[in-house]
């Protein structure tokens, strides 16, 4: 349980995507993880409280290295990291290597404590930094017992005795080694003194003498050499060419090849236990989106809660930029006296821009409450970019659309699809004067194939919102809110509702109602598959579907043949899933 608690804290801190976090954030993450996940984190929280008390007691004053050494040792002992080292003080839980590391740490503290005269008084951060540098510069190699096999160089093995010896690599190129005279001394002087490396004759004599010693170091000695290197035959050393007994070794076999060739028993188990709504199903539309993309992905993400660990990054990634667009637009429309197209068009440009800046700054604050504070300069640059993009989008709406009223903004809905109850948040719902409604979803990434007519749609969220929450709506649209690319991609019962090619559905379905019925059937089928436990590794398109998935090591798609997935690509132009919706 304690290990699980620490892992949850680590994952929570990584979700903040910062390269460094302060102690207060670690403490907050530990408390939140213990509270939300219900895990036993008593030891972790007790240790963090001890560190907090230690910081209040010690970190506010400058001290000498000897005082800091005692304070650091006291802290580590109080949180149970290290025990005292001395006669009779060995911790039975430590193995030999760990005990040696602990003893070396105590020696390092003593070395640090001896720096009083040279360093004087230090603040806590400076003392810790100096101790860290000393630790990094310390070379530590634990002493082992008597290993059954030793791998030694020629000079290390000379003078030792063994039960068995295998001398490897005795090729003509390697033994005797080539002469390498010292370039700083006269060559005649080196040869006269028979210095190592002075000449070929000297190296030959030394190599023969060393080999003779090795041949006499054990009752059984094997010598070997390679025969082929890079399609080139390799001759044995002339010092072993006269040996009479040569044993032909079998061809080398890599262990992994032998394992791959072995007869394996396969068990096809692609059905998980049926879904039971013991806990709320989180993920919203992404449950069905992932089920359509690959049933195993949906099972792993929404039932096993498998996720890739976040990586820290500088600035804003594509998900954060997308969230900023959603939050800014929501705050802007909410700030208008009436959220209508006419009020938007009548708003003076300076006032509209001021409202957008206020909305963008509020969105930044909301993001930073989750992630942590970013630099003011970076936040300002992102705010300017954000306002510029959204201004382009609003101007496009004014220029291309007739009168409408926004009737829902970031509206939380509960939707029933077959046996599943999904919670989702609609970005926006507009209503025209005649009562016709359009469901809008903002899209900050590239709008690739949405597959709305497929049995496994790539982007099922808008069909889901329409069929399960807004059945009377007459149009759905992805709103492209990107720098230099604003507009709608959607479908509508009446082509006048959307300024785009919204009537393409008429080539496949006789009426709008038939299209809506098709979506209902497709979505319910996906929900039934998920609830029944369908967890087969069945990507819709290989390798495209797997390119944006971070679960290849869990599903082992690469071990199934076909295309090999080498990396997970994440960029602003390839949003792999919709946002997780509470």
Rounded to whole angstroms, the Cα distance separating 523 from 509 reads 17
* 3-state secondary structure at position 145: coil
The answer to whether residue 459 scores a pLDDT higher than 60 is: yes
User: 119 φ, ψ to 5°?
Assistant: -110, -25
The pLDDT-based confidence of 404 (bands split at 50, 70, 90) is very high
pLDDT of residue 89: 46
pLDDT of residue 65: 93
For 326-339, the pLDDT digits (tens) are 999 999 999 999 99
Q: What percent of the chain has pLDDT over 70?
A: 90
Q: Which two tokens stand for residue 537?
A: 């590794």
Question: Beta partners for 223?
Answer: 167
Q: Read off the pTM.
A: 0.69
The pLDDT-based confidence of 265 (bands split at 50, 70, 90) is confident
User: Span 427-431, mean pLDDT?
Assistant: 96
Mean pLDDT, the chain, rounded, equals 85
pLDDT of residue 12: 80
Rounded to whole angstroms, the Cα distance separating 427 from 328 reads 12
In the chain the domains, ranked by start, together with CATH numbers, are 2-137 (no CATH), 154-257 (no CATH), 285-560 (3.90.320)
Q: What angle do CA 545, 548, 550 make, to 5 degrees?
A: 110
Pick the closest to residue 480 from 408, 575, 380 (CA basis).
575
For 549-562, the pLDDT digits (tens) are 889 889 888 876 54
Least confident interval from 116-125, 220-229, 344-353, 377-386 = 220-229
Report the 10 Å Cβ neighbour count for 146: 5
Report the 10 Å Cβ neighbour count for 133: 10
For 352-361, the pLDDT digits (tens) are 999 999 999 9
The pLDDT-based confidence of 91 (bands split at 50, 70, 90) is low
pLDDT of residue 573: 39
pLDDT of residue 353: 96
Rounded to whole angstroms, the Cα distance separating 90 from 84 reads 8
For 138-180, the pLDDT digits (tens) are 887 777 667 788 888 888 888 888 999 998 888 888 888 887 7
The answer to whether residue 568 scores a pLDDT higher than 60 is: no
Least confident interval from 246-250, 469-473, 514-518, 520-524 = 246-250
The answer to whether residue 570 scores a pLDDT higher than 80 is: no
30, 44 Cβ separation under 8 angstroms: yes
The answer to whether residue 500 scores a pLDDT higher than 90 is: no
């Amino acid at each position: 349980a304690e290990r699980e608690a620490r892992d949850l804290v680590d994952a929570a801190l990584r979700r903040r995507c910062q390269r460094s976090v302060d102690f207060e954030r670690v403490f907050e993450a530990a408390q939140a993880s213990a509270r939300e996940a219900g895990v036993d984190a008593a030891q972790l929280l007790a240790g963090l409280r001890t560190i907090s008390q230690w910081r209040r007691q010690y970190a506010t004053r400058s001290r000498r290295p000897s005082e800091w050494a005692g304070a650091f040792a006291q802290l580590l002992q109080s949180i149970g990291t290290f025990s005292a080292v001395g006669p009779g003080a060995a911790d039975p839980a430590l193995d030999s290597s760990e005990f040696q590391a602990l003893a070396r740490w105590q020696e390092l503290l003593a070395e640090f404590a001896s720096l009083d005269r040279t360093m004087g008084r230090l603040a806590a951060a400076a003392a810790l930094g100096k101790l860290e540098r000393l630790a990094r510069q310390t070379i530590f190699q634990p002493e082992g017992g008597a290993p059954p096999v030793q791998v030694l160089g020629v000079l290390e093995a000379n003078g030792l005795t063994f039960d068995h010896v295998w001398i490897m690599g005795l090729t003509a190129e390697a033994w005797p080694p080539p002469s390498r005279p010292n370039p700083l001394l006269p060559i005649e002087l080196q040869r006269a003194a028979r210095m190592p490396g002075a000449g070929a004759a000297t190296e030959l004599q030394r190599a023969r003498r060393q080999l003779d010693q090795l041949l006499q170091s054990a009752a059984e000695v094997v010598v070997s050499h390679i025969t082929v290197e890079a399609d080139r035959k390799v001759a044995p050393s002339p010092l072993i060419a006269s040996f009479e007994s040569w044993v032909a070794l079998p061809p080398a076999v890599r262990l992994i090849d032998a394992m791959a060739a072995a007869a394996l028993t396969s068990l096809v188990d692609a059905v998980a236990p049926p879904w039971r709504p013991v806990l709320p199903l989180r993920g919203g539309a992404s449950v069905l989106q992932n089920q359509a993309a690959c049933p195993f992905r949906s099972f792993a993400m929404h039932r096993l809660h498998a996720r890739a660990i976040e990586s820290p990054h500088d600035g804003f990634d594509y998900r954060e930029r997308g969230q900023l667009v959603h939050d800014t637009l929501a705050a802007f429309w909410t700030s208008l006296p009436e959220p209508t197209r006419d009020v938007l068009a009548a708003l003076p440009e300076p006032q509209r821009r001021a409202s957008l800046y206020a909305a963008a700054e509020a969105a930044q604050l909301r993001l930073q409450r989750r992630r942590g504070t970013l630099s003011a300069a970076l936040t300002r640059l992102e705010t300017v970019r954000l306002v510029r993009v959204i201004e382009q989008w609003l101007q496009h709406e004014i220029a291309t659309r007739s009168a409408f009223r926004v009737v829902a903004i970031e509206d939380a809905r509960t939707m029933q699809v077959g046996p599943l109850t999904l919670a989702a948040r609609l970005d926006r719902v507009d209503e025209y004067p005649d009562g016709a409604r359009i469901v809008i979803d903002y899209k900050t990434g590239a709008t690739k194939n949405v597959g709305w007519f497929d049995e496994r749609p790539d982007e099922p969220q808008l069909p889901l919102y329409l069929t399960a929450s807004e059945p009377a709506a007459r149009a759905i649209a992805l709103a492209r809110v990107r720098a230099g690319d604003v507009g709608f991609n959607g479908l509508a019962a009446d082509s006048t509702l959307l300024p785009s090619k919204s009537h393409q559905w008429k080539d496949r379905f006789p009426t709008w109602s038939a299209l809506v019925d098709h979506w209902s059937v497709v979505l319910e089928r996906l929900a039934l598959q998920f609830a029944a436990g369908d967890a087969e590794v069945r990507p819709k398109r290989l390798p495209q579907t797997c390119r944006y998935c971070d679960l290849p090591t869990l599903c082992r798609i690469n071990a199934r043949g076909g295309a090999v997935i080498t990396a997970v690509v994440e960029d602003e132009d390839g949003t792999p899933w919709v946002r997780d919706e509470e």
